[in-house]
Structure 1
Amino acid sequence: MDVSESNQSDWPLRPWLLAGALGLAGLLVWLLSDGANHSPWRMAGTAFVFFGSIAAAFTAERDRWKEPLSFALIAGLVMAGLAWRATAAGDRYADEEYGFAAGVIATALALPLFQAGFHRTRFATPYARVHYHVWTDAICAAGALAFTGAAWLLLVLMSELFHLLKIDLLREAMGEEWFGWTYSGVAFGAALGTLRNQVKVLGTLQAVVTLVLSILAVPLALGLALFLVAMIVSGPEVLWQATRSATPVLLACAAGAWVLANAILRDSDGEMSGNRVLRGAAFALALAILPLTVFAAVSLGTRVAQHGLSPERLWGLAAISVACAYGLAWFVALVRGLKRGTWREGLRRANLYLAVLISGVALLLALPILDFGAISARNQIARLESGAVSPEDFDYAALRWDFGDTGRQALARLQRSGNPRIAELAELAAKQSQRTYGFGRGRDFRSADELELRVQPDDPELRRMVVDYLRANAYVCQEFCVALDLGADAKGRREVALVESGRYSRVALPAGTQEPEVAPAAPAGFGPSSRVEIRTVPERYIFVDGRKVGPPLGSE
């Protein structure tokens, strides 16, 4: 393409300006994010500075700064809003981290579209211009990151050199977070400014990178063709038997096929290699994307049919929908352009339309419009009420921890269920003090008879409270344990030391949602015959078979 169309020109001051601007941005990021008080407004300010400065660094030009500044402000405000929501929500929402990630994707897709002037020319924007910015942005970012790493290596070497003279100024500075953020910003900005000035070099690098990647397209095309043939012969049932791994592997292969096909397609037929093998590989890869994404969708659909919806699976469905949209659009472009020989241009135009569409969809998903936690909770409750899942197999812990406020509200309704078994297991999940993995389903809530427990002294009321706690928190006392009464705390609760092999945990009953204090405990040989006691020497300690274990318990 004609590089002049990219609106990117040589600007001698660019490296210096970007070094200073990003160095200041790094210092501001440290000022806003430093300390334990990660308040929503501080995190929003951090996101605004970080993403806004990066957007400005990639778009600002000497004779064109108003539009880049507007774009940077919009990008910073959007990401600031998403950061505020993610940190202010606490555990009220089920998917705040996914929403923030969707915002990052939307911003990353919008960057080359803005650089290519899509906001002015809309879908009349030349594909070559968008394609150029996608690749050069990636090359500039990778090069600037590599230079930043090299700059740190140089700083380490210089600090060690001056350390030989007992001058540790650099060593001490490197240990300060503010210096690290500022220095990294300066190095990244200087490298990015230098690379963005080298328009001709960037075009050459783009050609080299795409040429190298295109070499990988041939073995991948052959591998995918053999895979699809083998699957047709053996049947796709093997994929459904491996639903946990099939979906990400298939999507990764589809993404790789898309990247390598684009590396061969370039931005025009004139730029594309005339090698028939490479062109055939591009055609095969483009054709393989649709079946790969369809099989990935069926694989995830099988898992949804087995276990119902969850926020993570809904985000997975959104990702697969995007992949299927690419596969379908490319398949249609291939079919429509095959006879006329325009299939390559059809794929390029499809890329432009899909980039705009997916940027908008990602932004929509990032905004607090769709509550995936509420959708998942309704689906799971419907499965329980319809009998699709038994009360013993229902994942009550997911409602407690993974679905946000709507999940906990649904769990509270289940506690009032007319089915005693559902109400009992829902109440146990509601009493959990922390998320347990591997014990999350109802069948893993233990009964009182299944607990290997000795209570000292054997007070019936204390035993009832200990049993309630252990049934709700399956990660504690998975084998034999001893519950020692430590007396009442300042709030009138019963303090108990739960002694098991290898550690003891100290909790106050009835327990809220606090995390228990855990300390080293019993030596090897701990079991039902062990004598467990508290001695004052001069402080109170736990003794197992006459041996002191763990830190002191404090005064009586």
Structure 2
Amino acid sequence: MSEGETDQAPGTQADWPLRPWMLAALLALAGLAVHFVTDSAGADLVPWRAALAAALVFGPLAFAFTLDRARWKEPLVFAGVVALVMAGIAWRASSAGDRHADQAFWVAAGLVAITLALPLFQAGFHRLRWRTAYDRTHFHVWTDAISGAGALVFTGVSWLLLLLLAALFSAIDIDLVEDLIDEGWFGWSFSGAAFGAALGVLRNQLKIIGTLQSVVMLVFSIIAVPLAVALAIFLLSVLASGISVLWNATESPTPLLLSVAVAGFVLVNAVVRNADHEVSGNRALRWAALVLALAIFPLALLAAISTGTRIAEYGLSPERLWGIVAVAVAVAYGLAYFVAPIRGRLPGWMERVRSANMHLAVATCVLAFILALPLFDFGAISARNQLARLESGKVAVDEFDFDALRWDFGDAGRNALARLTEGNDPDIADLANEALEAEIRTYRNAERNDERDSRLANLRLQFEDAALQELVIQHVRASAWRCNAPCVALDLGMGENGKRMVALVEGGRVAQEEFDISGPADKDAVERAVDVATLNEVPEPGQSEGSTVEIREWTGRRIYIDGKPAGQPFE
């Protein structure tokens, strides 16, 4: 094995006294450069500035984590690749504008790719490929996490101390430190220097951090026991009661299920460790790890079913496509962990988990990198799916979310709306044109159909004007915050601007709306939001479904609920 390959092996890192100073200077200069790139005389963060800033942040950080006294050429190349990758992603994301709607996911995919690539590079995967020792990779995953977190904590403490010193000197009319803090360049440079110095000190103590890693994993392995018991009870309950009990308990089970699956993954590896000889002999911990390894796959399957159910109901969107990717990765890990104990003899399942970790980490890194590239347009894929649902009649016209095409799918969605405006169906054309010309999103379809129907059932219209009734119904339909409890609409007559005034009374509170009945239906009527119940000291009367809500003569007119005044007089 070459010298370069042993430098990064666990337990062999030599103390390098200059490391803290070099990393402090490197990251301080990088921070200073980022300041001038991103805040040059208040310049906008145009694509080239965003790309350069990303390169100046992630390149030096990658170099700082991999630099060693006898090994700097390969880390420099790796840092250059990281800088180029993140610069390209930043350029693409910042230049996308509103042409795309999932730029944040591109950046997230890039971060996942370089985060996974870092320990693989440190372990020598670029040379050894699949001969890379698992204990090296696992060692660097934990030491990178611990040293990075420790450097962040030190940076925060350094800023706290600096602020205390600024206050101390300001007390005697010396404002030098306070003035420095107010300078943008100083903040970036100080943060970089503090983080670099702390990281350098911690990287010099990897042997100690390796010991700390064992302690952390021991603590995590203890937590694995109660989580294993809880997950066993949970899965048995779902099996006995049916999946529907989970859907009824929460509207978004997928993030919850994936979070628990990730927790199970971390705790399984806390028990599995680097090799069989490091695994605790405690039978409770071993059985807990086995239960968790078997539980990850059912959790990932439930998340997949949840995602599939939502897609079947609402169709694809860029966010849901990224959700599919996350669920697919979870299912892959879950399946590998589920198969490991049942493939071959049970005693060797931990070694099979370690092998799966290596292969899946590389695969996930490559997948994340590919998804960060401009190869797939999730907005276009989603727009085609939504149009197919509409054209096939799978979703009714009045239930179709035209606003989502306008705001959530980028140019692909707006192009789809433009095509719908030229279609043969006048209703679809009118709704598509309305969404295309909207300046503010109304979120009319942000809730489930049954929730909207329930709100409309709460509405009681106490006037006979059919045109005004339709406008009020449309307004409540589009306003998810309206009529979540029994509510009453009262006609207040014509306003000074020639529009009809309507009072919506809910929970004893009164809000006035104005509607133009002389023109076409105004589905997005502007709410005046005159919550008069809060503008005086009149107590809010109780209101139930059968309450009598009426207008009584008073020196002016006001609203009464069950004979008690509500809010201020409106005349």
Indicate the TM-score class for this superposition, using the shorter chain for normalisation.
Answer: 0.7 to 0.9
- Is the aligned partner of 1:28 residue 2:49? no
Matched residue type, 1:46 = A
Residue in structure 2 matched with residue 213 of structure 1 by the alignment: 220
**TM norm structure 2:** 0.79
The alignment-based identity, stated in percent, is: 54
- Is the aligned partner of 1:417 residue 2:423? yes
Alignment of 1:110-189 (within 5 A): 110-189=117-196
- The 3 A distance-change label for structure 1 pair 3 and 237 is farther
Q: List gaps (5 residues or longer) in structure 2.
A: 1-5, 453-465, 473-490, 501-510, 517-524, 539-550, 557-568
Q: For residue 333 of structure 1, give the secondary structure of its aligned residue in structure 2.
A: helix
Residue in structure 1 matched with residue 374 of structure 2 by the alignment: 368
- Is the aligned partner of 1:434 residue 2:440? yes
Residue in structure 1 matched with residue 408 of structure 2 by the alignment: 402
CA displacement 1:246-268 (0-9 Å, x = unmatched): 11111111100000110111101
- The 3 A distance-change label for structure 1 pair 498 and 301 is closer
Contact kept? 1:15, 1:189, Cα under 8 Å: yes
Determine the C-alpha separation between the residues in 1 that align with 2:380 and 2:194.
45
- The 3 A distance-change label for structure 1 pair 450 and 4 is closer
- The 3 A distance-change label for structure 1 pair 454 and 69 is farther
Matched residue type, 1:450 = L
Correspondence for 1:49 among 56, 66, 69: 56
How far residue 180 of structure 1 moved from its aligned partner, in angstroms, is: 1.3
Correspondence for 1:5 among 1, 5, 9: 9
Greater mean alpha carbon deviation, residues 330-339 or residues 263-272: 330-339
Correspondence for 2:513 among 476, 480, 492: 480
CA displacement 1:29-72 (0-9 Å, x = unmatched): 11112235110110111101101111000001111111101110
Greater mean alpha carbon deviation, residues 88-97 or residues 112-121: 88-97
Matched residue type, 1:388 = K
Residue in structure 2 matched with residue 333 of structure 1 by the alignment: 340
Greater mean alpha carbon deviation, residues 358-367 or residues 270-279: 270-279
Q: List gaps (5 residues or longer) in structure 1.
A: 467-477, 484-496, 504-521, 532-544, 548-556
Q: For residue 279 of structure 2, give the secondary structure of its aligned residue in structure 1.
A: coil
Contact kept? 1:94, 1:402, Cα under 8 Å: yes
- Is the aligned partner of 1:316 residue 2:319? no
Count of equivalent residues: 486
- The 3 A distance-change label for structure 1 pair 422 and 176 is same
Q: For residue 85 of structure 2, give the secondary structure of its aligned residue in structure 1.
A: helix
Determine the C-alpha separation between the residues in 2 that align with 1:75 and 1:455.
63
- The 3 A distance-change label for structure 1 pair 173 and 244 is same
Determine the C-alpha separation between the residues in 2 that align with 1:3 and 1:209.
24
Contact kept? 1:40, 1:83, Cα under 8 Å: yes
Alignment of 1:69-148 (within 5 A): 69-148=76-155
Determine the C-alpha separation between the residues in 2 that align with 1:408 and 1:396.
10
Q: For residue 10 of structure 1, give the secondary structure of its aligned residue in structure 2.
A: coil
Determine the C-alpha separation between the residues in 2 that align with 1:440 and 1:365.
28
How far residue 440 of structure 1 moved from its aligned partner, in angstroms, is: 5.7
Correspondence for 2:471 among 450, 457, 474: 450
Contact kept? 1:159, 1:170, Cα under 8 Å: yes
CA displacement 1:489-547 (0-9 Å, x = unmatched): xxxxxxxx9793449xxxxxxxxxxxxxxxxxx9889x9x9x9xxxxxxxxxxxxx999
Contact kept? 1:482, 1:500, Cα under 8 Å: no
Contact kept? 1:398, 1:440, Cα under 8 Å: no
Matched residue type, 1:26 = G
Alignment of 1:441-520 (within 5 A): 450=471, 479-481=512-514, 500-502=528-530
Determine the C-alpha separation between the residues in 2 that align with 1:430 and 1:243.
33
Contact kept? 2:513, 2:528, Cα under 8 Å: yes
Contact kept? 1:48, 1:77, Cα under 8 Å: yes
Residue in structure 2 matched with residue 487 of structure 1 by the alignment: none
Determine the C-alpha separation between the residues in 1 that align with 2:273 and 2:107.
31
Provide the alpha-carbon RMSD of the alignment.
3.2
**TM norm structure 1:** 0.81
How far residue 456 of structure 1 moved from its aligned partner, in angstroms, is: 6.9
Correspondence for 1:15 among 7, 10, 20: 20
